Structure 1
Amino acid sequence: MQPGLDPREMRASDKDRDRVADILREAFAEGRLTPEEHAERLDAVYRAKTLGELEPLVRDLPVAPGVAPQVVAPTAARPQHTPATQPPPPLVAIFSNSKVEGRWRLPDAVNAVSVFSEMKIDLRQCEFATPEVDLTANAIFGALELRLPRGVVVRSYGVPLFGEYKVEQDAAEESGAVVVNVRGVALFGSVKIVR
């Protein structure tokens, strides 16, 4: 870190954003955030460029030690690396229609939310970084459709509340296949996982 640089001005990483998104997901599941607050904060998470922008989004929520992005000066310089593929785009649609597709590296935890929107996410060209992925898919007065490649094992834990949470399964599970754990809620909306 450069001398005199405020730690809050440090650029946030994808991992920092994912940790904050996980905190918000837990707070939403526990009833600490309304659907509107959750969607608003999640949108801000994926627009945040610095750690200082992420910090206020979880300041009023209980956070396990080491989970929130730390706004402290690092003791050693961090190694720089260039990913083989593009990082994932923000998977948020609020009062809009959105389609996300292309080749990017899928991290071990992904959050997608559609609020009063129609969103289509195509993951068939994605590179899976880990053998197991936790995918949170929430549709609030909206529709969210995720396309997964064939051969991926899907385990659904989604909950429909006055809506539909539908997962299209493959005929047979392949041993050694990537596992995608789908969680979330369809509140007056629909979530569909298709092949």
Structure 2
Amino acid sequence: MDNFQPSEASHDESGPGKALSPEPAGIVPATPALRASDADRERTVAILQAALADGRLSHGELEQRLERVYGATSKNELAEISADLQPAQWSGGSSAVSKDVGVMNDFVRKGRWKVGRKYKGTAVISSGVIDLRDADFTEPETTIHVNSWIGTVYVVVPENVDVQVTGTGILGGFKQDREGTNYAATHRINVTGMAVGGSVLVVHELPDDKQRKLLKREQKSIGN
């Protein structure tokens, strides 16, 4: 009688002892996109509404983008929706503002102004406002260096930028109303410097009382 020799096909290929085939070399598992929160969606909505107010979006475009915002599941999707609404960047024209100083006298920098790679604001026994929401940036990254000596300086930043705060406080400090974005933004703002017996507050909106004081100041200057 011939001895029976099992063929290779008769082996159980699904047994627990079978080694799994290695993944092909060079293939890296994709990193899952970060999920968007309701707060992320509302920040994007604020960007769209601001673009409608200054004429960059029509009402029809706003409605279309709002549908995409509330249907988005990842932060990358939200970034794409507002990517063309980032702060404008100038390559020419008037020179950039490099510094403002207030010594026992408040200073305010706001509205449409050109800011370069670096800007320095100093307040000594006074307060200051550095409003970047309508600023035109000449570089993809801007460093705002603030020194506050027995005073308070507000740095008002746009909604759609990455913000990093690294200032030093001595009997004072730097505070930020919210953390920077977790997705890639087209512009980055670094806020640094020193607060000695004072504060540097990085916010997205000025407090109501400070806004009222600025309005009274503007009305007074117009009356004069």
1:43-192, aligned counterparts within 5 Å?
A: 83-85=92-94, 87-88=96-97, 90-170=99-179, 172-192=181-201
Higher helix share: 2
Q: Secondary structure at the match of 1:108?
A: strand
Q: How many residues align?
A: 114
Residue segments in structure 1 that go unaligned for 5+ positions in a row = 1-81
How far apart are the structure 1 equivalents of 2:94 and 2:173? 33
Q: 1:171 to 1:119 in 2, by over 3 A?
A: closer
Cα distance in 2, alignment partners of residues 168 and 112 from structure 1:
20
Query: Is this contact kept in 2: 1:150–1:170, CA < 8 A?
Result: no
Aligned partners of 2:195, 2:105: CA distance in 1, in Å? 17
- Give the gaps of 5 or more residues in structure 2: 1-90, 205-224
State the alpha-carbon separation in 2 of the partners of residues 135 and 89 from structure 1: 10
Deviations 1:142-195 (A, max 9, x none): 111111111111111111110121022357333133111111111000000111
1:90 positional shift: 3.8
Instruction: List, as ranges, runs of 4+ consecutive aligned residues in structure 1 with deviation greater than 6 Å.
Output: none
Listed one character per residue, the Cα deviations across residues 107-164 of structure 1 (whole Å, up to 9, x for unaligned) are 0011111110011121111011111111111101111111111111111111111012
Quote the Cα distance in structure 1 between the aligned partners of 2:104 and 2:127.
8
Are the structure 2 counterparts of residues 185 and 89 from structure 1 closer, same or farther at C-alpha, using a change threshold of 3 Å? closer
TM-score (norm 2): 0.47
**Identical counterparts, % of pairs:** 25
Q: Max radius of gyration: which structure?
A: 2
